[in-house]
C-alpha cells in the first residue's frame, strides 16, 4: 500500500509506519477531492496576456571617439577602483566617482563606461570597446582580476604602474624648463640692438618672426612625437640604436622595467606563467622581446624558467641566479617585483643623465647664439658707425660724408 500523505510504499497497516498518519482518515479528504473534481463542470479557459519581458535599458552607442588617457588619469581611475572595490561599492558607482575626479574627455568616457555597466555590460568587454583608453596590460590584468576576484590588488598595482610613468614624465618635462627659458631668452635678446638702430617696431617684428618659427617647430615636434609614440614600430626602430653608448643602457633599462613589472603583476593576479610571459613579451613593444618570450614559453616543456633567461635580449646581471632561487623558494612574483624596481631605478638615473646632457647642449647653443649676435652687431657698428643711427638719418649722414670727404681731403 501507498501512504496518501508521505507516499511511502509499505505493507498493509492501519497507520503509516513512516509518518504515523491513520490511513483511513488520510484517504477520506483525497477521495472527496477527486469526486469533486470529477463532478465539477469544466471551467472556461480565459486567455491570459503574455508576460511582458523585463527589458534592459538600451546600451549607449558603441561609437566612441578615441580619447587617449594620460598616465595620471589612468592612475586616478585605478586608485578610485581600488578604494571602491575594497569598500564594496558597485563598479558603476566606482567608475562614476573616477569620472568625477578625472573630468574632461577622459571623465566623460569613464562615465559612458559606468552607464554601460549599469545597463548590464561586462567590465572587460566594455573596456575593450573604449579605444585608446587602456593598453593590453591593463586589459589582461582586469581579465585576471575577474577570474581570481583580486580586483583591489590588481587595481593597486596598475595605479602604481601608471603613477611611475606619470612621475617620470613630469620629471623629464621639469628638467627641460631651464633650457626652454634659455632658448626664449636668446630669442628675445638676439635682436635687442634693433631697439637702438631701427626702433621698437623692427625689434617686435623680428621677435615675432622668431617666436612664430619656434612655436611652429615646437608644435610640429609635439604632433610628431604623439604619432610616433602610438606607432607600433617605434621601439623596433629605436632598438637599432642600442649599440650606441648610453642609448643601449636606457633601452635595456626600459625593456626590463616593463617585462619584470608585467611578470610580477600577472603572477600576483593569478595568471598562468605562459600567459604572463606573453604579456611581458608584448609590453615593451619590441619584436625581439616578443620572440624571446615565445622561445622561453616553448622551452618550458624541457627547461626551467631560469635556464631560459639567457635567451632574453641582454638581461641584467644575476637575473638567472635570482630567478632560479625564486623558483626553488616559490617567490617568483616577489623577485620579479624587485627586479622591476631595480630596472626602474636604472632607467630613472639614465634619463636624468641624458636630460642633464641635453640641458648642457641647449644652454651652450643658446649662449652661443646670444654671444655671436652681440659680437656681430658690435663689429658691424665699429665698421659702419652710421648703422647705429636709426631710420633715414644714418643713410643721410653717410651720403653727406661721402660727398664732403673728398673736398676735405683736398683742402688738407
CATH number where 271 lies: 1.20.81.30
Residues 299 and 254 in one domain: yes
Sequential pLDDT tens for the chain (412 residues): 677 766 666 667 677 655 666 777 666 655 544 544 445 455 554 444 444 433 433 433 433 334 567 788 888 888 888 887 788 888 888 888 888 887 877 788 788 888 888 888 887 888 888 766 777 778 877 877 877 778 888 888 888 888 887 887 787 777 777 777 777 777 777 777 677 666 677 778 888 888 888 788 878 877 776 665 566 677 777 778 888 878 888 889 988 988 998 888 888 877 888 888 988 888 888 889 989 999 999 988 888 899 999 989 989 999 999 999 999 998 998 999 899 889 988 988 888 888 888 778 877 877 777 777 777 766 766 665 555 555 565 566 666 666 665 665 555 5
Predicted local distance difference test score (pLDDT) of residue 9:
62
Whether the CB-CB separation of 325 and 338 falls below 8 Å is answered with no
Predicted local distance difference test score (pLDDT) of residue 64:
36
Angle at 162 between CA 156 and CA 163, to 5 degrees: 85
Separate counts of helices (H) and strands (E) for the chain: 18, 0
Residues 161 and 192 in one domain: no
Distance CA 311, CA 150 (A): 32
Task: Indicate the residue among 169, 187, 209 that finishes a domain.
Answer: 169
Residues 292 and 352 in one domain: yes
Q: What are phi and psi of 2, to 5 degrees?
A: -120, 125
Residues 297 and 314 in one domain: yes
Within-domain flag for 308: yes
Q: Three-class SS of residue 187?
A: helix
Residues 292 and 192 in one domain: no
**Structural domain tally of the chain?**
4
Within-domain flag for 257: yes
Residues 21 and 116 in one domain: no
Task: Indicate the residue among 345, 360, 375 that finishes a domain.
Answer: 360
For the record, the C-alpha cell of 363 comes out as: 644652454
Residues 200 and 156 in one domain: no
Whether the CB-CB separation of 374 and 381 falls below 8 Å is answered with no
Residues 254 and 353 in one domain: yes
Within-domain flag for 117: yes
Whether the CB-CB separation of 264 and 336 falls below 8 Å is answered with yes
Tell me the whole-structure pTM to 2 decimals.
0.62
Within-domain flag for 47: no
Q: What are phi and psi of 47, to 5 degrees?
A: -65, 130
Distance CA 383, CA 35 (A): 134
Distance CA 160, CA 42 (A): 73
Within-domain flag for 59: no
Residues near 288 by beta carbon (within 8 Å), at least 6 away in sequence: 236, 239, 313
Whether the CB-CB separation of 312 and 218 falls below 8 Å is answered with no
Predicted local distance difference test score (pLDDT) of residue 3:
75
Going from the C-alpha of 178 to that of each of 56, 181, 359, 369, the distances in angstroms are 57, 5, 8, 16
Residues 297 and 350 in one domain: yes
Closest by Cα among 359, 336, 324 to 279: 336
Residues near 146 by beta carbon (within 8 Å), at least 6 away in sequence: 123, 124
Predicted local distance difference test score (pLDDT) of residue 319:
92
Task: Indicate the residue among 139, 169, 199 that finishes a domain.
Answer: 169
Question: Which range of residues forms the domain containing residue 8?
Answer: 1-33
Amino acid at each position: 500500500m501507498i501512504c496518501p500523505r508521505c507516499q511511502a510504499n509499505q505493507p498493509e497497516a492501519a497507520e503509516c509506519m513512516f509518518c504515523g498518519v491513520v490511513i483511513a482518515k488520510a484517504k477520506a479528504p483525497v477521495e472527496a477531492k477527486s469526486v469533486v473534481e470529477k463532478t465539477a463542470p469544466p471551467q472556461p479557459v480565459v486567455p491570459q496576456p503574455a508576460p511582458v519581458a523585463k527589458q534592459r535599458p538600451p546600451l549607449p552607442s558603441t561609437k566612441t571617439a578615441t580619447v587617449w588617457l594620460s598616465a595620471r588619469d589612468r592612475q586616478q581611475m585605478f586608485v578610485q577602483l581600488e578604494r571602491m572595490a575594497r569598500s564594496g561599492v558597485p563598479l558603476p558607482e566606482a567608475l562614476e566617482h573616477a569620472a568625477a575626479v578625472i573630468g574632461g574627455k577622459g571623465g566623460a568616457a569613464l562615465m559612458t563606461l559606468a552607464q554601460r555597466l549599469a545597463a548590464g555590460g561586462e567590465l572587460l568587454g566594455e573596456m575593450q570597446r573604449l579605444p585608446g583608453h587602456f593598453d593590453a596590460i591593463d586589459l589582461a590584468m582586469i581579465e585576471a582580476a575577474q577570474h581570481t576576484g583580486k580586483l583591489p590588488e590588481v587595481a593597486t598595482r596598475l595605479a602604481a604602474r601608471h603613477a611611475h610613468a606619470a612621475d617620470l614624465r613630469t620629471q623629464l618635462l621639469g628638467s627641460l624648463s631651464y633650457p626652454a627659458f634659455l632658448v626664449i631668452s636668446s630669442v628675445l635678446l638676439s635682436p635687442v640692438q634693433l631697439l637702438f638702430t631701427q626702433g621698437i617696431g623692427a625689434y617686435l617684428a623680428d621677435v615675432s618672426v622668431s617666436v612664430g618659427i619656434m612655436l611652429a617647430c615646437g608644435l610640429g615636434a609635439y604632433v610628431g612625437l604623439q604619432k610616433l609614440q602610438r606607432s607600433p614600430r617605434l621601439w623596433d626602430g629605436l632598438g637599432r640604436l642600442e649599440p650606441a653608448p648610453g642609448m643601449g643602457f636606457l633601452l635595456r633599462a626600459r625593456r626590463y622595467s616593463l617585462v619584470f613589472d608585467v611578470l610580477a603583476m600577472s603572477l600576483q593576479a593569478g595568471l598562468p606563467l605562459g600567459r604572463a610571459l606573453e604579456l611581458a613579451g608584448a609590453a615593451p613593444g619590441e619584436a625581439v622581446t616578443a620572440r624571446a618570450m615565445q622561445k622561453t614559453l616553448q622551452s618550458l616543456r624541457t627547461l626551467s624558467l631560469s635556464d631560459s633567461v639567457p635567451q632574453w635580449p641582454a638581461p641584467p646581471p644575476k637575473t638567472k641566479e635570482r630567478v632560479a632561487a625564486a623558483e626553488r623558494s616559490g617567490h617568483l612574483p616577489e623577485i620579479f617585483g624587485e627586479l622591476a624596481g631595480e630596472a626602474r631605478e636604472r632607467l630613472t638615473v639614465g634619463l636624468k643623465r641624458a636630460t642633464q646632457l641635453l640641458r648642457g647642449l641647449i644652454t651652450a647653443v643658446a649662449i652661443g647664439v646670444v654671444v655671436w649676435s652681440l659680437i656681430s652687431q658690435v663689429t658691424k657698428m665699429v665698421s659702419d658707425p652710421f648703422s647705429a643711427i636709426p631710420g633715414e638719418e644714418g643713410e643721410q649722414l653717410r651720403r653727406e660724408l661721402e660727398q664732403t670727404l673728398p673736398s676735405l681731403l683736398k683742402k688738407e
